[in-house]
Amino acid sequence: MNSDMTSFRYETTKYGVTIEGLLRNDWQAGKKTVHQMRMDKAVTDSAGVPLDWRTPLAEGTELLFHFKDAQSSYKPDENKSVTILFEDEHLIAAKKPAGMATHPDENDKGHTFINAVMAHVVNNGGAYAEHVHRLDKGTEGIILVAKHPIAKALFDRMIEERSITRIYHAEVDGRLKRIRGTLQYPIGRDRHHPTRRRVTPGGQDAVTRFKIIERFDDSTLVEASLETGRTHQIRVHFSHIGHPVKGDILYGGSETEDGTYRLTAKKVQFIHPFTLKQTNIEIH
């Protein structure tokens, strides 16, 4: 893969699949993407020879998919505090440290998580990196990054359909009484604060499931999984029941010595849409 071309290799997993079927049915690539790839003769065999899109292929056939104009605009910015946990042709899973933004805003053109991942991609000859989801600046943990446009579309859809399990560890103030439970409270914007969210009847549905891992003298370590992905969801839900995340001053949490709050995106689990294998990525 050269610096102006995004591409990936794929080995067919069943007999009789066609390129047309892969793109339209298996991966549900958009019509515009499929049309452009057909016009560009963007699918070849391992020797670079364009293939007929309707010819059934043998299991194990190696295909090369090329995206002529697929480049990300993020400026590469190396940062050793961002750790790569998993990588293949389609996806990177990396750990974001607490205190780092997921992506730049209008005032910050670099020094974010995705800039660091972009540096890794560019250093390995690539040109495309787009985050599939995000974490709050103060939350550390795993973020998934797509390495080509079809992966981005597929993983976006998996997030929307809730087929990616995201598991967090949170240390919350006080001693939770329930061993496990479900927090189901709608979340909306707080009219009195520019960034804060709150539980409100007119908000979006939000569901957090949790179980206790360990109780301490004045706090509780919980494992929480999201059925929905609302902004600040775990932070808002636990604050609402009187057990804010430790260190999360915005939502009433007690102060910590280092000024960070105790919330980590610990694990992601999903069926990989290209390999069809159960994939578990975890911070140990």
Active site residues: 136
Give the C-alpha separation, 125 to 165, whole Å.
Answer: 31
What are the tokens at 129? 């990196």
Task: Say if CB 267 and CB 283 are below 8 A apart.
Answer: yes
Task: Say if CB 151 and CB 90 are below 8 A apart.
Answer: yes
CB-based contacts of 40-48 (< 8 A; 24+ apart in sequence) = 40/66, 40/68, 42/66, 42/67, 42/68, 43/19, 46/9
Q: Give the amino acid at 271.
A: I
Q: How far is CA 274 from CA 22, 216, 261, 279, in A?
A: 10, 43, 36, 11
